[in-house]
Amino acid sequence: MTASVGFALGAAVLFGLSTPLAKQLLGSVPPVLLGGLLYLGSGIGLITLRLLRDRGWQATGLQAGEWPWLAGAILFGGVLGPVALMVGLQQTAASTASLLLNLEAVMTAVLTWVAFKENADRRIVLGMLAIVAGGVILSWPGGLAASGWSWGAGWIVLACLCWAVDNNLTRKVSASDALFIAGSKGLVAGVVNVAIALALGNVRPESSTILAAMAVGLLGYGISLVLFVLALRGLGTARTGAYFSVAPFAGALVSVVWLGDSVGLAFWIACALMGFGVWLHLSERHEHEHTHETMEHSHAHVHDEHHQHLHDFHWDGHEPHLHQHRHLTITHKHGHFPDIHHRHVH
């Protein structure tokens, strides 16, 4: 559980830092092309890391029925989301955009509860309401930005919705190889967006700018997504999204300190509300008696209380290890989140 929280926070910080950096690059790269370069850097970098790790191409671990979920995640999270964000950043201060990205967690949680039936307690719901209130204050007419800012905010909200869909679809494949999931998303999304940008007549930027964009993408979209997928395994979608809500604060801090964005009272009120909402998420505890139904899947694991099984192959005792394994029905009680082993009804 501790490792999963660390993965989620690491993903949040890397993605949060990428927002103001991408804002800086928008001055020399059109939004669609920039979105493509960010994901292309992510895809090429992660696939290369996977090849080095495995010393060649290895099986993905995805089951036949999981490929449509991954394709949907690539479409919403890799193609539509980053383009909407880049368009929104053109019309919005990076600090404000960073805080608005908190709405991704809210939309992720709502979809998780409504469509995928993941459980939610009072603290999670109250935390989401606090984040929404902060977003409303940020988008209030005549608040932080000049004329036309609301259009930029609308594009950023659309990006949050795309990523909310993406998060829930990625949840369905989170037990598979995280490097492959994130790398394939980056590679496909990068190629598609770059092709669209060139077809629209976008001019190729300087090589140094391309490398800078791809480096930002590898860290903020690639490594960040790998950590996010690992967190999904241990925390579930809504909780991972809640921890990920610290991302905008990292971006906003950089925007104010490094980029010199000016902020007023509304910004700090919104910041306090969103911070309170995140704290409610981080302090949530969940424990009750529950039953694990019989299931079979493949993922890296250790032989803890949920993995008590024999092997039909020679095992040298090294953990964690990866293989197809079967879970028998078991009923017990302990603190847990809706991870890949605790997606039960309440």
The residues spanned by each domain of the chain are 2-284, 292-311+319-346
Q: What span, in angstroms and rounded, lies between the C-alpha atoms of 73 and 254? A: 29
* Residue 164 pLDDT exceeds 80: yes
For the record, the structure tokens of 343 come out as: 């997606």
pLDDT the model gives residue 148? 41
Of the candidate ranges 63-77, 85-99, 169-183, 298-312, the one whose mean pLDDT is the lowest: 298-312
| CB-CB contact of 325 with 307 (8 Å) | yes
pLDDT at res. 52:
93
Residue 48 has pLDDT above 90, yes or no: yes
User: Tens of pLDDT along 188-243?
Assistant: 999 998 998 999 899 899 999 999 999 999 999 999 999 998 988 878 777 787 77
At residue 145 the predicted structure's pLDDT band, cuts being 50, 70 and 90, is very low
Range of weakest confidence among 33-37, 157-161, 218-222, 251-255: 251-255
Higher pLDDT, 225 or 122: 225
Cβ of 222: how many Cβ atoms within 10 Å? 30
Q: What is the pLDDT of residue 97?
A: 74
Q: How confident is the model at residue 98 (pLDDT cuts 50, 70, 90)?
A: low
pLDDT in tens, 254-313: 777 776 766 678 778 878 887 888 788 777 775 656 566 666 666 666 677 667 767 776
> DSSP string spanning 64-88?
GGGHHHHHHHIIIIIIIHHHHHHHH
Q: How far apart are CA 116 and CA 113, in angstroms?
A: 6
Here the tokens at position 289 are: 């008696």
DSSP annotation of 324 reads E
Residues in contact with 271: Cβ distance below 8 Å, sequence separation at least 6, in sequence order: 99, 134, 249, 252
In this prediction, residues 88-96 reach a mean pLDDT of: 76
DSSP of 204-259: P--HHHHHHHHHHHIIIIIIHHHHHHHHHHHH-HHHHHHHHTTHHHHHHHHHHHTS
pLDDT-derived band at 245, boundaries 50, 70, 90:
confident
For residue 87, give the nearest of 157, 138, 146, 134 by alpha carbon.
157
Q: Where are the strands (E) in 249-308, listed by range?
A: 287-292, 295-301
- The beta-strand segments (E) located in 279-337 are 287-292, 295-301, 321-327, 330-335
Angstrom distance (rounded) from CA 26 to CA 155: 15
Task: Average the pLDDT over 305-326 and give the result.
Answer: 68
The CA distance from 291 to 154, in Å, is 43
Query: Residues 67-75: what's their mean pLDDT?
Result: 92
pTM metric for this prediction: 0.74
